[in-house]
Amino acid sequence: MEDREKLPGTGRIEAFSDGVIAIIITIMILELKVPAESIARGSFAGVVRELGPNLFAYALSFVIVAIMLLNHHSIMRAAGHATNGLYWWNANLLFWMSLIPLATAGFGQAPGQPLAVALYGAVMFVCGISFTLLRRCASRLSPADRDLAGFNRRNDAKNALFAALYGLSVPLAYVSVVISIAIFVVVAMAYFLPSRLPDER
Amino acid sequence: MEDREKLPGTGRIEAFSDGVIAIIITIMILELKVPAESIARGSFAGVVRELGPNLFAYALSFVIVAIMLLNHHSIMRAAGHATNGLYWWNANLLFWMSLIPLATAGFGQAPGQPLAVALYGAVMFVCGISFTLLRRCASRLSPADRDLAGFNRRNDAKNALFAALYGLSVPLAYVSVVISIAIFVVVAMAYFLPSRLPDER
Amino acid sequence: MEDREKLPGTGRIEAFSDGVIAIIITIMILELKVPAESIARGSFAGVVRELGPNLFAYALSFVIVAIMLLNHHSIMRAAGHATNGLYWWNANLLFWMSLIPLATAGFGQAPGQPLAVALYGAVMFVCGISFTLLRRCASRLSPADRDLAGFNRRNDAKNALFAALYGLSVPLAYVSVVISIAIFVVVAMAYFLPSRLPDER
Amino acid sequence: MEDREKLPGTGRIEAFSDGVIAIIITIMILELKVPAESIARGSFAGVVRELGPNLFAYALSFVIVAIMLLNHHSIMRAAGHATNGLYWWNANLLFWMSLIPLATAGFGQAPGQPLAVALYGAVMFVCGISFTLLRRCASRLSPADRDLAGFNRRNDAKNALFAALYGLSVPLAYVSVVISIAIFVVVAMAYFLPSRLPDER
């Protein structure tokens, strides 16, 4: 017990990650500017027109970040304890995730512009890769649990597919932004398909 | 003990929610701009005039968010452990709550404009509905405790009433913004009526 | 043990307070604008002139908020467990503390303007009163510990004195802002005089 | 057990520090403005030109802050319990760290301007000194553990070297900003050389 207490837990990595992720959401909200003029004119249509695309981009990113947070929880539980390696793969992930607000704001301001959509897809793609790298590091820390290993393998396959789709969304934005946006929405939706953790059976 | 430790607790959901809720308050503070010109002129009346409506809107939202946080605590304690369902009903609530700063800023900038008041009421209404959905999910996770069940039923009724009042405030803002604002204040005040948790008797 | 676990601890109140207090510091940092022009000209004197008063106001508020956080820790430890009353006295305190960034920004922008200094003093005064009210509520929750009771009494006296000084700083700002600013500095410094918690002997 | 529970742990100091550190990262992200015009024109080169220096400064500071956070973890684990002294040395560190976003924004906006680079180096230098002071205070609180003492000694030497390099970067910026920037990058990279905590062998 004494020894385990001295072993660095994942507590502060999780707390720090939660902090950064909560902050990512904050910054996305800050990008939603009050449509002051439309409100002053009492124009509901104006509010929708001004706020609509930004609100759609925010809602999409909110769902994606919430999925990432859920994955983050399951990765940290799998890891069980902290090492320098885990810390830095996690920091790498948080760095790329911290660019999501920027990508979201760009996307919300110009949803029809291929460059804005491609940048959004690119950030999500790099986040997907970073998740895979973090998950691998975490799996190495807890190889004993067989159920979890199987779960991680299935999850790895799923994440690799989704990361590949995000990667595809970058060039496809220059074919049609609609295809790329459809990819974002479908990937986000796909996470709601049941995929329970072994200990939640 | 081992098993319970592996069971996902509500800890990180709570920590994340606290983070987002703290952030909601931050963003509301950020909307309170320093009335630099009135201060430079040394005009207290100017400070009050510039800051007054925004400060009122902030104080109202602060109380409402504090009530929501208190409810959130009691819901999470009732749930006891986390599931994917609880996570997503909670994420749904946080999404709508994250629009409170926007609604507050709109309301504070144009407290006499029906559209601003109606949007404020609409956001609170959707938050109320989201709370009911989260509470239902949490209750299902802990059906055994009879005292808590009774408490939850009473709370459900109260929340349904308050959500309905928020819903009414949306059309009523077009009759008179004063009625809607009165509803916001009365609902906030009503929460201070005693309604203790069973374990606080 | 089971029962104590069900008793609502002060954990989430503390976590939420820490969140809000950390955020107060954030917003104060956000008010420190990069003196872009002076940097572009390479003028160190310009950087000091532009940033100086704001940095002084920020440093002062940072120390005051850090003192408040330390007091908050000791109050929560004294309380031991949470009640609705404690929650709301704490929310009341956080509301007034959340106005510190606004008061700090006003003070930093116009340190020679009596109104700015008086508003700063007024916010600190109300925070002092709110602390006394929270401390009283917390003391009632743990009347058994005699050492702590003595400590709290001494602390109450000290806090009452400091709150009174903050109160005085409001009218005195109209005599001379220097007197009020001296009060702010002296009160902040006074907290560094030794006053250990009984369990830190 | 009872007694230890009453002894103030480092929990809230850590939680508060994590909050402030997470916030430092937030503010740095907020300084990354969406290059709206370049996106609207669909110019990738424009996005890179506008965002490039700021993104480089942000990435550098992100790595430095992540290293600081890791050091902070190990210092707090070494301290084991909280005292007023530890609290204030920690507050002193957080104050100087809270100026990192400002220094980063100045650096990102004018990476070729000696003053901007020197101010960045100066803030890092003072942070390095503050870390040494905090580490000394923490070491005094846990003199018994011999492994940790040796580890701390080695770390002290390393930190003193790095702080000295940051100190040198200030005057060197006026010789050539490239030298100072190289120092920043080298110091950040040097932390990735293996230096495990004794309990991670």
Percent of chain C at pLDDT > 70 equals 84
Rank A154-158, B1-5, D88-92, D122-126 by mean pLDDT and report only the highest.
D122-126
| B51 neighbors C122 (Cβ within 8 angstroms) | no
Cβ–Cβ < 8 Å for B143, B149: yes
Q: Which residues of A touch D196 (CB under 8 A)?
A: 84
Q: Which amino acid is present at B191?
A: Y
The number of distinct structural domains making up chain D is: 1
The answer to whether residue A200 is domain-embedded is no
Nearest by CB to B105, from A23, A34, A197: name it: A34
Contacts of A87 in chain D (CB under 8 A): 66, 70
Pair B61, A178: CB distance under 8 Å = no
* CB-CB neighbors (< 8 A) of A119 in chain D: 39, 47
- Across the interface, which of D36, D42, D62 has its CB nearest the CB of A109? D36
| Contact across the interface for D12 and C43, Cβ inside 8 Å | no
Number of other CB atoms surrounding residue D49 within 10 Å: 12
Return d(Cα C13, Cα C87) in angstroms, integer: 7
Contact between D44 and A19 using a beta-carbon 8 Å cutoff: no
Asked if the structure places residue A82 within a domain, the reply is: yes
Are A18 and B7 an interchain contact pair (Cβ–Cβ within 8 Å)?
no
Contact D98/C62, CB-based, under 8 Å?
Answer: yes
Question: Between A and B, how many residue pairs show a Cβ–Cβ distance under 8 A?
Answer: 85
List of chain D residues whose C-beta atoms are within 8 Å of the C-beta of residue A86: none
- Chain D residues whose CB is inside 8 A of the C70 CB are 84, 87
In a domain, residue A201? The reply is no
Alpha carbon separation from C96 to C103, C122, C126, D125 (Å, rounded): 11, 10, 7, 35
Nearest to B121 by CA among B174, B84, B76, B70: B174
Instruction: Report pLDDT digits (tens) over A88-108.
Output: 888 899 999 989 999 998 888
Contact B39, B87 (CB under 8 A): no
Q: Dump pLDDT digits (tens) for A110-126.
A: 888 889 899 999 999 99
pLDDT value of residue D149: 66
The lowest-confidence range among B15-24, B31-40, B103-112, C185-194 is C185-194
Does the beta-carbon distance from D69 to A16 stay under 8 Å?
Answer: yes
Instruction: Retrieve residue B200's tokens.
Output: 């606080």
Whether A60 is in a domain gets the answer yes
- Position B120 confidence tier, pLDDT thresholds 50, 70, 90: very high
Answer for the pair B117, B107: CB distance below 8 angstroms, yes or no.
yes
Counting Cβ atoms within 10 Å, is residue A34 exposed (0-12), middle (13-18) or buried (19+)?
A: buried
pLDDT band at C5 (very low <50, low <70, confident <90, very high): very low
Q: What is the pLDDT along chain D (201 residues), one digit of tens a residue?
A: 334 444 456 777 777 787 778 878 888 888 888 888 888 888 888 888 888 888 999 999 998 888 888 888 778 877 777 777 888 888 899 999 989 999 998 888 888 888 989 999 999 999 988 988 888 888 777 656 666 666 667 777 778 888 888 998 888 888 888 988 888 888 888 776 555 444 443
Interchain proximity C200–D84, CB inside 8 Å: yes
Contact A110 D39 (CB under 8 A): yes
- How far is A65 from A96, CA to CA, in rounded Å? 12
Chain D residues whose beta carbon lies within 8 Å of the beta carbon of residue A116: 39
Residue D85 in contact with residue D69, Cβ under 8 Å? no
Residue D184: burial class (beta carbons within 10 Å; 0-12, 13-18, 19+): buried
pLDDT at residue C17, rounded to an integer: 81
Determine the Cα angle at D52 with ends D50 and D53, to 5°: 100
Chain centroid, CA A5 distance in Å: 31
Q: Which of A53, A160, D85, B199 is nearest to C4 (CA)?
A: B199
Whether C113 has a pLDDT exceeding 70, the answer reads: yes
Asked whether residue B83 carries a pLDDT value surpassing 90, the answer given is no
Query: In Å, how far is B85's CA from the nearest CA of chain A?
Result: 10
Q: How would residue A67 be classed by pLDDT, with cut points 50, 70 and 90?
A: confident
Q: pLDDT grade, residue B196 (50/70/90)?
A: very low
| DSSP assignment string, chain C | -HHHHHS-BSHHHHHHHHHHHHHHHHHHHHTS---HHHHHHT-HHHHHHHHHHHHHHHHHHHHHHHHHHHHHHHHHHHH-B--HHHHHHHHHHHHHHTTHHHHHHHHHH-TT-HHHHHHHHHHHHHHHHHHHHHHHHHHHH--S-HHHHHHHHHHHHHHHHHHHHHHHHHHHTTT-HHHHHHHHHHHHHHTTS----GGG-
Q: Which residues of D touch C (CB under 8 A)?
A: 6-8, 12, 15-16, 19-20, 22-24, 26-27, 30-31, 83-84, 87-88, 91, 94-95, 98-99, 101-102, 105-106, 109-110, 113-116, 119
CA dihedral C86, C102, D29, D65 (to 10 degrees): -70
> Under an 8 Å CB criterion, which residues of C touch B?
6-8, 12, 15-16, 19-20, 22-24, 26-27, 30, 83-84, 87-88, 91, 94-95, 98-99, 101-102, 105-106, 109-110, 113-116, 119
How much is the pLDDT for A15? Answer: 74
Determine, yes or no, domain membership for B199: no
The beta-carbon neighbor of C19 closest among D19, D83, D109 is D19
Residues of chain C contacting residue D116, judged by C-beta atoms under 8 Å apart: 39
The separation between CA B169 and the C-alpha centre of its own chain, rounded to angstroms, equals: 16
Residue B198 located in a structural domain = no
Task: Write down the pTM of the prediction.
Answer: 0.82
Is D29 close to A26, i.e. CB distance below 8 A?
no
Residue B28 makes CB contacts below 8 A (sequence gap 6+) with B58, B61, B62, B100, B101, B104, B105
- Condensed to tens digits (0 to 9), the pLDDT of residues C41-65 reads 888 888 888 888 889 999 999 988 8
**In B104-123, which positions are buried (b, 16+ CB within 10 angstroms) versus exposed (e)?**
bbbbbbbbebbbbbbbbbbb
pLDDT at C4 over 60: no
Average pLDDT over residues C131-149: 74
pLDDT of C150 over the 80 cut: no
Chains touching chain D through at least 3 C-beta pairs below 8 angstroms are A, C
Q: Measured between CA atoms, how close is A122 to chain B, in angstroms?
A: 24
Which amino acid, one-letter code, is at D193? L
**CA-based torsion, B163, B169, B171, B172: positive or negative:** positive
Q: Do B39 and C115 touch (CB under 8 A)?
A: yes
Q: Which domain holds residue B80?
A: 2-193
C neighbour chains, 3+ CB pairs within 8 Å: B, D
Sign of the CA dihedral C78, C81, C85, C91? Answer: positive
Query: Where does the pLDDT of residue B5 fall: very low under 50, low under 70, confident under 90, or very high at 90 and above?
Result: very low
Q: Indicate the DSSP class of residue A42.
A: T
Higher-scoring residue by pLDDT: A24, A80: A24
CA distance B120 to B114: 10
- Contacting residues of A for B114, CB less than 8 Å apart: 42
D9 - beta bridge partners?
D81
Question: What is the ipTM for the molecules in this complex?
Answer: 0.80
Is D66's CB within 8 Å of A88's CB? yes
Q: Is residue B182 domain-resident?
A: yes
Is the pLDDT confidence value at A21 over 80? yes
Q: Give dist(CA B93, CA C39) in Å, integer.
A: 45
- Chain B interface test: which of C3, C5, C6, C32 (most B C-beta within 10 Å): C6
| pLDDT average, residue stretch B36-51 | 83
Look at B106 and A199 and tell me if their CB atoms are within 8 Å: no
Stretch A145-171: mean pLDDT, rounded?
A: 77
Q: What percent of chain A has pLDDT over 90?
A: 11
Q: Look at residue B199 in the predicted model and tell me its pLDDT.
A: 44
Question: Nearest to residue B71, comparing CAs of B142, B19, B17?
Answer: B17
**Chain B CA closest to residue A72:** B12
Whether residues A26 and D26 touch (CB distance < 8 A) is answered with: yes
Check: CB of residue B47 under 8 Å from CB of residue B35: yes
Counting residues of chain B whose pLDDT is more than 90, the rounded percentage is: 11
The H or E element spanning position A44 is: helix A44-79
